[in-house]
Chains A and B, each alone.
Chain A
Amino acid sequence: MASTRTGRRLAPYGFLAPAIILFGLFFALPIGYALHLSLHSVQVKGLGIGRNAREEVWVGLDNFTTALTDPELLAGAGRVLRYGAMLVPTMLGLALLFALLLDLPRTRFRAFSRLAIFLPYAVPGIVASLLWGFLYLPSVSPGYFLLRAVGFSGPDLLQGDWLFLALTNIAVWGGTGFNMIVIYTSLRAVPPELYESARLDGCSETQIALRIKIPLIMPSLVLTFFFSTIATLQVFAEPMTLRPLTNSLSWTWSPYMKVYRDAFVQGGLHSAAATAVVIAVVTLVLSFGFLKVVNRRTAERTP
């Protein structure tokens, strides 16, 4: 009996062993290694020939100073912020609107619309950017075809400020459906009694949506906002795909692209690691700060 009890005490650790080992190997160890790289640099001794010519030396925070004062990284961060400021409100606004419309009792073709709007979730970011990339190209796009037919030329969507719109559109297309389903699901969980009487009292559906439904689904709106913002900061596949189609997308358009270029195109592993650590720290600080604010506000409302 005693041995079974020991077994029972150890069992959960046994069940968790695969996850703990994988976490150690593919999360903890790489993070530790990135920190190590970011604090070191390679020094070339003598002529730089031979086995011991290249030596890794401790450089303290030098790599971080370089990364944080690099105008390209700051410009990239600025571009991503601008892109996010366009993307997140548009995408979540549309997702909320569609979810509320789906929740109305008198809407038709609901199953079809829901499925069609969710469909882009099944399309990889690379393919989505590819499809839109072609739709942006004057030589193959139906939009330009129609514009030319009536004698206009249309803007070049892959240049200058239009580029932000082009990238935002790809992400809105890809992300609205998933967020719509998350919001819609939590709308379905609201008991109808809560607004049935308001409806009988003559409240319009808009009033019901604004005063009753939206406050009740606030937790899932906060959640979708949080995850969408994080995903925005990580933009990589979309600008990478559009790059071959235009010359106005630099290798360092987003911080992610810069890390990739520094590490694998230019071979600057140590500075790339420092930039990657900076990205991680910024993400974590933003996340925990955001969660703290949300928790405090929830605590205030429920004394």
Chain B
Amino acid sequence: MSALLVGPRVQPSVSARATRRTSWLATFLLLLGAIYCLVPVLWVVMAATKSRSELFSTFTFLPGSGLWANVSELSAYRDGVYWLWMLNSGLYAGVGALLSAAVSAVSGYALAKYSFPGRGAIFTVILAGVLMPPITLAVPQYLLLAKVDLAGSYWSVLLPSVLSPYGIYLARVYAAAAVPDEVLEAARVDGARDLRLFLSIALPMMRPGLVTIFLFQFVAIWNNFLLPYVMLADDTTFPVTVGLYSLLQQGASKPALYTLVITGALLSIIPLIALFLGLQRYWRVDLLSGAVKS
């Protein structure tokens, strides 16, 4: 595979000119990767425009004539339960990620800017939570929440999503880098208390990092299937992932439901793609790689 990487061999004397020349092989391979990643998305865009009969009869990558009919049929399905799923997903991911960013912010700040007995132990134990398999947590979480009558409620999906070991880790790295000790010390000399110090000085400085944590957690909750699938039984509380799954389960035997599933799949990925294209500058993966090196 690596042989494919070889560009034209460059003599030292012509290197300046050569660097301006395009490497078509590299460009071609990357475009191939891009096409591979876009094919299923393009397919669902096309398939969602097809009416039921067109879906099985026409070539897949040609648009059909039934998009509007499909969307209104999906909206009519069980009194619009699909849109309720979308709203639920927005609620779980939005509120969950907001709370998660808040908890990560205070925890990361405390771990980065204070030294106190137990700091290392607390950090290690929380971080080890990343390694706990979700299923090992989800089953007992369900049983315990059932004991306090919360299983199946919105809380049963929201509350377990709030603590993000990864978010706390990122917030700690970000607070250590973005909040200078001198500024905190100066404010402290001026008589500011700890909570005030955090709220009015550290928090604004940490904002870009917190947006990143919010976005990663938003995607993690929006895309999650296992936890809501374990917790929820009533389909009016489903997020869109579990909702589409239940639709597919009924639709597998009835190809008539295929168009609904396909249209639902298309509509369900639009919000995240919009969020992702709109807030590109906040998708700071470098926080992660930067942290790896330290």
Contact = CB atoms under 8 A, between A and B. Distances in A.
Interface stretch (B21-29, B65-73, B74-82, B206-214): B21-29
Contacts of A245: 252
Interface string B36-52: 11111101100100000
A244 interface: yes
B119 A12 contact: yes
A86 interface: no
A109 B26 CA distance: 10
B120 interface: no
B186 interface: no
Interface in B229-266: 229-230, 240-242, 244-245, 248-249, 251-252, 255, 258, 261-262, 265
B156 to A, nearest CB: 11
Interface string B268-294: 110011011100000001101110110
B34 A126 contact: no
Given A108-B27, A142-B59, A276-B139, A185 B289 contact: yes
Contacts of A182: 285, 288-289
Contacts of A135: 39-40, 43
Interface in B13-36: 15, 18-24, 26-27, 29-31, 33-36
A37 interface: yes
B107 interface: yes
A240 interface: yes
A103 to B, nearest CB: 10
B97 interface: no
B30 A107 contact: yes
A181 interface: yes
A260 B109 CA distance: 38
The bracket for how many chain B residues form the interface is 35 or more
Interface string A185-208: 110110000000001111011100
Contact of B5 (A7, A100, A176, A263): A100
Interface in A119-149: 119-128, 130-132, 134-135, 139-142, 145
B225 interface: yes
B272 to A, nearest CB: 4
A106 B30 CA distance: 12
Contacts of B225: 124-126, 236-237, 240
A154 interface: no
Interface stretch (A20-28, A56-64, A70-78, A159-167): A20-28
Contacts of A283: 131-133
Contacts of A201: 12
Please report whether the interface of chain B is mostly helix, strand, loop or mixed according to DSSP. helix
A27 B5 contact: no
A209 B133 contact: no
Contacts of B24: 108
A130 B248 contact: yes
Contacts of B193: 4, 7
Contact of B103 (A18, A27, A93): A18
Contacts of B187: none
A265 to B, nearest CB: 12
Contacts of B38: 116, 119
Nearest to A284: B131
A86 B209 CA distance: 35
A117 B7 contact: no
B132 A131 contact: no
A280 interface: yes
B238 to A, nearest CB: 12
Nearest to B131: A287
Contact of B107 (A15, A173, A177): A15
Given A15-B106, A182-B289, A200-B15, A125 B131 contact: no
Given A109-B27, A230-B131, 12 more contacts: A22-B162, A98-B29, A124-B268, A130-B265, A134-B262, A139-B255, A173-B40, A189-B290, A206-B6, A220-B292, A276-B140, A279-B133
User: Lowest 10 A-B CB distances belong to which pairs?
Assistant: A244-B252, A15-B110, A116-B34, A142-B60, A30-B140, A11-B194, A12-B114, A124-B223, A113-B30, A22-B163
Interface of B: 1-3, 5-7, 9-12, 15, 18-24, 26-27, 29-31, 33-41, 43-44, 47, 55-56, 59-61, 103, 106-107, 109-111, 114, 116, 119, 122, 125-126, 129, 131-137, 139-141, 143-144, 159-160, 162-163, 168, 193-195, 198, 219, 222-226, 229-230, 240-242, 244-245, 248-249, 251-252, 255, 258, 261-262, 265, 268-269, 272-273, 275-277, 285-286, 288-290, 292-293
Interface of A: 4, 7-9, 11-16, 18-20, 22-23, 25-27, 29-31, 33-34, 37, 93-94, 97-98, 100-102, 104-110, 112-113, 115-117, 119-128, 130-132, 134-135, 139-142, 145, 173, 176-178, 181-182, 185-186, 188-189, 199-202, 204-206, 209-210, 219-220, 223, 230, 233-234, 236-237, 240-241, 244-245, 256, 259-260, 263-264, 269, 272-273, 276-277, 279-280, 283-284, 287
